[in-house]
Amino acid sequence: MKSRSPVLNPPSEGKSARWSPYFTLILVVALLACYPLLVPVLTQVSFLQGVNLNFGITTLILAGLALSWDILGGWTGQNSLGHAALVAVGAYSVTLLAEHGVAPWYGTLIGMGIAGLLAWGWGSMTFRLRGSYFTLSSIAVAEILRLVALNESWLTGGAEGKFMADLPKLFGTFDLFDRKVEFYVALGFVTLVLLFLHWLKSAKLGFYFRAVREDEDGAMALGVNPAKAKSTAFILSAVFTAMGGAIYALYLQALEPDNLMLVAFSIQIALLCIIGGRGTLYGGLVGAILLGVPSEIFRAQLQEANLLVYGILIVLVILYLPKGVMGTLEHWWYRKNHPLEKGGK
């Protein structure tokens, strides 16, 4: 994809512009790293008892999956409702290979490779068409893989599921079944995806993605191949999603197709980005926290009414913050610092 116009070349940035986003990233990661220290204090509060270490692990994993989805759904505008299948690819790869003595880090890499190949083949068949064809195909492919996982019990354990085998210690010291270790592994996953997104924001590849999202015809006129750009985004999204799936398998320790591969799980991942802000650096993370914490509070206090209040919260955010939380904040900040760009005012 060669650029024929300076429009798609990233603008030059000074040192402060380059380093300030990374300072924000360091601050965010440092604050998240302190969470296990706060758990004993938080759980003393009656309505925060559900905000424990398990909650922190699942929130980080979901945040990482949402950020991974956003590479495709936010940066190129291609809505996937089949990412649960890619989560399952990573999860089953590390679980099945662990049964044969393969270390989980190698199993994770293999799962990422399989997911990348699946995305390449999948995208090659669908991205030459426009409209909702890809979204529909994502539902179909995910459902096909779920049915395969249910019926091929010799491989996946079928409806009874598959249990994680004993694993070697990380660096010979850290037990991967220890919740604190799992928390920091999940935090490492989120950090890695955020680092990639920071790079993508100022790289030519990121400009190609955004050009395709805004106007495919305009992008083609500037020398960008939309099908290739979308396929590249899908492969990258799939690779990171499979990594998250492998970490999710370590946390769950048992895999069931009907829990891991449902379309509802794919919708949940996408929804976190929509609430947090599609195409933003921290949208997936913000969405996971904003939806996760109230969910735990409502579950503890409202019991059966939990889902109703949770749904109302989602509707309110979508109605009044259509760009998502981070998208709205970024728009406000831009308008504040560029007051003369609209109508010459």
Local confidence band at 26 (pLDDT 50, 70, 90 cut-offs): very high
Alpha helices, DSSP H, located in the chain: 15-33, 35-42, 53-73, 83-99, 104-126, 133-151, 153-156, 179-202, 204-214, 216-221, 226-252, 257-260, 263-276, 283-302, 306-320, 324-337
> What confidence score (pLDDT) does residue 178 get?
85
pLDDT of residue 2: 45
pLDDT tens-digit readout, 224-260: 999 999 999 999 999 999 999 999 999 998 898 888 8
As a whole number, mean pLDDT of residues 7-32 equals: 69
244 versus 160: the higher-pLDDT residue is 244
Cα 284 to Cα 271: distance, rounded to the nearest angstrom: 9
Q: What's residue 168's pLDDT?
A: 72
Residue 144 has pLDDT above 70, yes or no: yes
Whether residue 331 has pLDDT greater than 80: no
What digits encode the pLDDT tens for the residues 253-275?
Answer: 889 888 888 888 999 899 999 99
Q: Could you tell me the pLDDT band of residue 71, with boundaries at 50, 70 and 90?
A: very high
Flag the least confident range among 16-25, 98-107, 143-152, 183-192. 16-25
Supply the pLDDT for residue 302: 63
Residue 163 — φ and ψ, nearest 5°? -105, 145
Task: Write down the domain spans for the chain.
Answer: 50-263
Res. 149: pLDDT tops 50: yes
Residue 196: its pLDDT value, please? 97
Q: What is the pLDDT of residue 5?
A: 43
DSSP 8-state symbol, 340: T
Closest CA to 88 of 338, 269, 227, 308: 269
| Count of C-beta atoms within a 10 Å radius of residue 8 | 18
Predicted pLDDT of residue 3: 43
Quick one: CA dihedral 109, 111, 116, 117, positive or negative? positive
Measured in whole angstroms, the distance separating CA 228 from the mean position of its chain's CA atoms is: 21
The confidence band for 320, taking pLDDT boundaries of 50, 70 and 90, is confident
Least confident among 13-17, 247-251, 277-281, 288-292: 13-17
Rounded mean pLDDT, 292-296: 75
Judged against a pLDDT cut of 70, whether residue 19 lies above it is answered with: no
- pLDDT above 90 (res 333): no
CB count, 10 Å around CB of 290? 18
Highest mean pLDDT among 57-61, 134-138, 316-320: 57-61
pTM: 0.88
Cβ atoms of 262 and 84 closer than 8 Å: yes
d(CA 278, CA 261) in angstroms, rounded, equals 23
pLDDT at residue 330 tops 90: no
- Cβ atoms of 277 and 325 within 8 Å: the answer is yes
Q: Which pLDDT value is given to residue 75? A: 95
- Provide the percentage of residues in the chain whose pLDDT is more than 90: 50
The mean pLDDT value of the chain amounts to 85
